[in-house]
Structure 1
Amino acid sequence: MNLQLEPDVAFGVHPYLGVAAAVADDRPFLDEVLRRHHFRQSGDLDVYLLPGDTPHNRAVRTVARASREFQDAGLSVAADPRIMLPPPIPTPDGAPVRQALPGQSLTALTGKLHELRRSADIADVLEQILDEHHGVVGDLEEFIDTAAVWCERLDTANGRELGQHLRTIAHHVAFLGDQLVAAQLDLAVMPDVTPDNAPPLSEVPLLPRHDVPSVTHTARTRAALASSPNRPADLPPSPQEAARAPASPSSSRRTR
């Protein structure tokens, strides 16, 4: 069996220039694919680079799509896992910079599930997601709260309304985190191990989700209840609209 020690294409992260790609030789196909995915060759470094202002999520998707195209053509690809890590979060002057951690990449953790067999191992992955300081659930709650503050800074009726709506969503995220903690504890004490003859996780179809109201219906309901020039904010909605209005959640937000 012949082992190929050097990949045809390798993706990595340059400390100053961002996501980069290196090729094993000067085959035109390699150059063509990389350019199609917005990589441009840097003559000084002999590598291909994405534009410096490429958002993190777009860069990750670009690497994934280019890698798939190379692999479909029978070429070998290597990628540095650090590509998945988001950039540091801005902090006030004097505060320590908050570095990204593997637990903040749901894509990386979802891929990790395919390699696990023990319930306790799944619980360990969930623990990374639920980490109070670096988990994605807490980060999502913080992101929504920050978006709510942004809306409230507009100092308009619509901005304050949307800010309150976002804070309600943050309550739901906190409740979701509490439910995941319960599931994580159950997994931690389960003795089950996946049988050796079980099909690969990628071949097991996902269960269908419960039906939820369409975005269009939800948007129309909110628009009907929102204040407008034709309905002053201090007037109550009609009885029919009040009956259709969704009840506000009663769950309390988790303290972080």
Structure 2
Amino acid sequence: MNLQHEPDVAFGVHPNLGVAAAVADDRPSLEEGLRKYHFRYSQDLDIYLLPDDTPHNTAVRTVARATRDFQDAGFSVAADPRIMLPPPIPTADGVPAREPVPGQSLTALTSQLHGLRRSADIAEILEQILDQHQGAVGDLEEFIDTAAAWCERLDTPNGRELSLRLRTIAHHVAFLGDQLVDARLDLAVMPEVTPEDAPPLAEMPLPKRHDFLPAAHTARARAAVSSSPHCPADVSPAARASAQPQATAPSSRRTR
């Protein structure tokens, strides 16, 4: 990358080693800033590298946060846009791999809604979410299906049960996609335009979401006491003792 003005820090992608960073000079503040985000210097390559097992999303967030910190400190930063390109999803032999494309941020699309005035414009946003190749709905369904396959691979009763639950959730996501398609078609044919004197979208009250806290709390509590391949259940001796039936006759006194 040849720039007229060399940046203080440049982020890029090494073909074999993942996300990398280079600095214009050996100022300690630059190296300290990179080490804060777990970049380590490679003397052979004269660049800084993230650990080779860093997940893609983690690497993207790391570059974004490091860039913001460097810019706030007055340094100039350049970043290769290919950092945003996700790795391909592994596939079985004979199955064509899906070409990786830069993901679309739902946050960015939600922000975009605030500047739109026509119903047809909203329909175009929904079309991006429903896109077969890079839409959020399809990606979510594929993620849940893959998580279900992971659980099924455990080959345990709990794993198979959770796999079925996840596949049911994936069906719900697919149903949600069908409902969004209907909504997009309705928006596409609506001639309505937002009135000029309409209040800003940010000032409109959003519908209250249902409170799922009790169910979520129950699920977390169940997960906390269940075993997993990486964290087998191991009840302490004191807990096992308290769980044993008492040999003495039960007392008639109420206990809390």
Rounded to whole Å, the distance in 2 between the matches of 1:101 and 1:42 is 29
Rounded to whole Å, the distance in 2 between the matches of 1:43 and 1:222 is 45
The aligned residue for residue 142 of structure 1 is: 142
What TM-score, normalized by structure 2, do the two folds share?
0.68
SS of residue paired to 2:185: helix
SS of residue paired to 1:139: helix
Structure (1 or 2) with the larger CA radius of gyration: 2
The aligned residue for residue 158 of structure 2 is: 158
Counterpart amino acid of residue 47 in structure 2:
V
SS of residue paired to 1:211: coil
1:132 and 1:34, CA in 2 relative to 1: closer, same or farther beyond 3 A? same
Structure 1 residue 31 and structure 2 residue 52: aligned?
no
| Runs of 5+ unmatched residues, structure 1 | 224-256
The aligned residue for residue 185 of structure 1 is: 185
1:160 and 1:124, CA in 2 relative to 1: closer, same or farther beyond 3 A? same
Q: CA deviation at 1:52?
A: 1.4
The aligned residue for residue 54 of structure 2 is: 54
Structure 1 residue 212 and structure 2 residue 211: aligned?
yes
Counterpart amino acid of residue 19 in structure 1:
V
Q: CA deviation at 1:156?
A: 3.2
SS of residue paired to 1:20: strand
SS of residue paired to 1:133: coil
Q: CA deviation at 1:66?
A: 0.9
The aligned residue for residue 21 of structure 2 is: 21
Structure 1 residue 70 and structure 2 residue 70: aligned?
yes
Counterpart amino acid of residue 144 in structure 1:
I
Counterpart amino acid of residue 94 in structure 2:
G
Counterpart amino acid of residue 101 in structure 2:
L
Q: CA deviation at 1:45?
A: 3.5
SS of residue paired to 1:19: strand
CA contact (8 A) 1:12 1:21 kept: yes
SS of residue paired to 1:145: helix
What TM-score, normalized by structure 1, do the two folds share?
0.68
| Runs of 5+ unmatched residues, structure 2 | 225-256
Q: CA deviation at 1:218?
A: 4.8
Structure 1 residue 170 and structure 2 residue 167: aligned?
no
CA contact (8 A) 1:113 1:122 kept: no
1:15 and 1:153, CA in 2 relative to 1: closer, same or farther beyond 3 A? closer
Q: CA deviation at 1:94?
A: 2.9
